[in-house]
Structure 1
Amino acid sequence: MNDSFDFDFDLDELAPADDASEEAVERFWSGDLTALSHHHTSPNDSHSFVVAHDRSVTWGVPGAPQVMAIAVARDLSRFTFTLETSYHATVPFAQNWLVGHGCPPERIAQIAKGYVQPADDLTLQVERQIRESGARYEVLDTYTSDSGPCETWTLTQDSQASQAPVRVFLEEWDHDAGTYTMREGAFADVGAARSWLDDRSGPLPEPPEYSDHNGAVVRARIARIALARSVGASAALGAGLGTPRTPGAGPVRPAQGRAL
């Protein structure tokens, strides 16, 4: 396993269960991976779910997705494993794929420290919407830009939208601030969405459900996220009272070229 990948799949005593798993292992080894989030089942340790960034993609086809989702299932009675991988432009779509393979969404939602962080609660709301959406969004196209501008977009068809069913999820990074935003745009058809992506003639059109008619629901969801973050921070602060404080590691440098 490459040195940068800080997660051990514990496959040394196991053999691939099929040709597809053997091919997936080859793709895995050929990458330059950094684990961003993972969940390992217990008590039998039969499954592992990982979200990773593959830096080797930056040297390949321009715009290719850089986030890899990895699902491993072990059959300890047969000493075999199956391994599946899937590439995505952004982390929440990779998490969604893993949830579809049996990973609890709350177990794969937390990204490791040291990477760019969400800039606001709306970003968290949109990410959770994607992560827990099941098969709602059919991905039609993606693009990842490492520089000028630093962004990714995912073009989708929303099976639950009665109005403007083509949705664009736009992620923009501010490496200087160490943050990123995720926004959802709504379009009548694919042609309109591609036109906007090409010329950026105006702001990203908000989905109809963001309007005054349904906006209260969206605002309530964002408020719940903000409250959960506040409660979590208070609990962490309370747990740390009376314990020795260690010096901070200094400012976190955002990962360059990361789709986060």
Structure 2
Amino acid sequence: MKKILLLIILFSFNFTFACSCLFTTLSNAYHRADFVAEITVLNVYGNNATKNTYKADIKFERFFKGKSEIKTLDVAGNIGNFSSTSCQLSLRANAKYLIFLNNNNKIVTSCTPHYILDDNSYQSKISAVENLFSFLEKNTTKNDEFIFYFEKNKKGKSSISKLKNFKPKNNFAVYEITSNSKNVIGAVKNISEFGDRDNEIAKLIKKNLNRDLTEYLGKRILIAFVYIPEYIPIKYRDHVTSELY
């Protein structure tokens, strides 16, 4: 579970004290949000020392779910002085983000699911999430439980990212997992395919998945992967990943 700490996508929060967020997956965040969008941060300004907030003017580039007329966000933190132990969020001017928001959001924090869309992998990320979100909307519900993919004894890239000559036709895939009360995986089946090595990936998930699934008994358990080819040369970053970091 320590590897989860690498993520910046956090959902619930305690704004007054140290941040105590619950982690969420890309897919769970999609179902739980009122609207999901790509934004550009136009400007950050207006530190408020009393409230420990600042403002960020934003432009919505596209919506993947819902709509909003918001033009300015209230953000937890102070520009240029962010604490890693709280819910402060460092939004950068001129940067693009994928963000998940609810209509009752008053202050956006690091616990608000968000991903920076860097230039190098921007198009791959946007294309993958657009296709994934379209599938989620038509084929899954907020009652489904999407989990992160962690492997036993992982060194460097995962066994899935280590597959040789992997040439997917699609840039996302979704797998469904069944397990019993003893945390034994019974079956793994793909419900949306990469179009290459799908059965092999299912076998690797069954063999290497390192998660306690007993807490999800009675729920439909799923793993969604996205394919980010720009991550291939990065030694410790999976390019077939359940985490859009």
Q: Quick check: TM above 0.5? A: no
Larger-Rg structure: 1
Query: Which of the pair has the greater relative contact order for Cα pairs under 8 Å at 6+ separation?
Result: 2
TM-score normalised per structure 1? 0.28
